[in-house]
């Protein structure tokens, strides 16, 4: 009988309690770790917006011109012909490559030398204001955010010089945009940088893939954690 009782005995309440406590601690550690990762991503992305804006001002202060907005002779004078600095081309294209007009013409996500916004990155790197490849054919030439989305800058003006920012209705001297950002980070970015309203103010968001000026900014309540968004900040 005693042998049977020993075989049928299970865990005591104390043992079960200890196991539950250990499981709780492990889960808490995992959740805390994920929270720290998310916080680090948000901090990194906020840093992207602020850094890119400072690149434009820093370059302008040193060269009395905006990066991307100079002619080839001006670039050779600034960096030397051996640096092989690239000017946007073809020149004198309003809204894309109108050099020396005090703007960063073109689309923030442009992928060719037709836009000043594209050669912007080479110029700030040649000036040692930013790190990264200076060869425009390098697959890593265009910078990426912590979620792998593109980062870019634009003046947000059309060929006639009228306001035409990527997110309709935004106002500013220029705009820094970053896409592929998960909704769970979008709300935090807006709270840190602006007013927490993703449809108003200096930081706004639209679904990634939206065409320029095609949709209004997404309201904070409509932001979905797992969906991707393009966030633009005005400066």
Residue 195 lies in a domain: yes
The pLDDT assigned to 16 comes to 77
Residue labelled with tokens 């979008």: 186
User: How far, in Å, CA of 235 to CA of 233, rounded?
Assistant: 7
pLDDT > 90: percent of the chain:
80
- 175: in domain: yes
Q: In the predicted model, is pLDDT for residue 77 greater than 80?
A: yes
Model confidence, pTM: 0.85
Residue 169 lies in a domain: yes
Alpha carbons 227 and 181: distance in angstroms, whole number = 8
**19 lies in some domain:** no
| Mean pLDDT, rounded, for 169-188 | 97
Q: What is the pLDDT of residue 1?
A: 47
Q: 16 in a domain, yes or no? A: no
pLDDT bracket for residue 19 (50, 70, 90): confident
pLDDT of residue 35: 66
The boundaries of the domain holding residue 120 are: 45-234
Q: Are residues 176 and 170 in contact, defined by beta-carbon separation less than 8 angstroms? A: no
Q: Which are the contacts of 113, defined by CB distance < 8 A and separation ≥ 6?
A: 86, 87, 88, 89, 119, 136
Q: Does a structural domain hold residue 21?
A: no
Cα separation, 211 vs 217, whole angstroms:
12
Predicted local distance difference test score (pLDDT) of residue 92: 86
Q: Is residue 35 part of a domain?
A: no
- What's the Cα-to-Cα distance from 227 to each of 50, 143, 201, 218, 234, rounded to whole Å? 24, 21, 21, 12, 23
Q: Does 2 fall in a domain?
A: no
pLDDT at 34: 60
The tens digit of pLDDT for each residue in 57-73 reads 999 999 999 999 999 99
> How many domains does one find in the chain?
1
Q: Is 6 a residue whose pLDDT tops 70?
A: no
- Pairing mode, strands 228-234 and 203-207: antiparallel
């Amino acid at each position: 009988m005693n042998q049977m009782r020993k075989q049928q005995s299970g865990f005591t309440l104390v043992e079960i309690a200890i196991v539950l406590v250990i499981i709780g601690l492990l889960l808490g550690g995992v959740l805390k770790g994920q929270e720290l990762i998310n916080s680090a991503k948000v901090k990194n992305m906020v840093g992207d917006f602020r850094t890119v804006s400072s690149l434009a001002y820093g370059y302008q202060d040193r060269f009395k011109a905006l990066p991307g907005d100079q002619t080839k002779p001006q670039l050779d004078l600034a960096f030397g012909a051996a640096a092989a600095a690239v000017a946007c081309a073809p020149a004198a294209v309003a809204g894309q490559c109108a050099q020396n007009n005090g703007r960063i013409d073109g689309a923030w996500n442009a992928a060719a030398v037709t836009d000043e916004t594209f050669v912007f990155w080479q110029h700030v790197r040649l000036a040692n204001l930013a790190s990264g490849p200076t060869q425009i054919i390098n697959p890593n030439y265009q910078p990426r955010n912590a979620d792998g989305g593109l980062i870019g800058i634009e003046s947000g003006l059309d060929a006639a010089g009228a306001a035409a920012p990527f997110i309709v209705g935004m106002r500013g001297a220029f705009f820094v945009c970053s896409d592929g950002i998960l909704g769970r980070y979008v709300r935090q970015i807006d709270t840190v940088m602006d007013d927490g309203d993703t449809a108003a103010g200096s930081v706004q968001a639209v679904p990634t893939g939206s065409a320029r000026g095609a949709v209004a900014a997404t309201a904070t309540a409509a932001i979905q954690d797992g969906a991707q968004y393009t966030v633009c900040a005005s400066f």
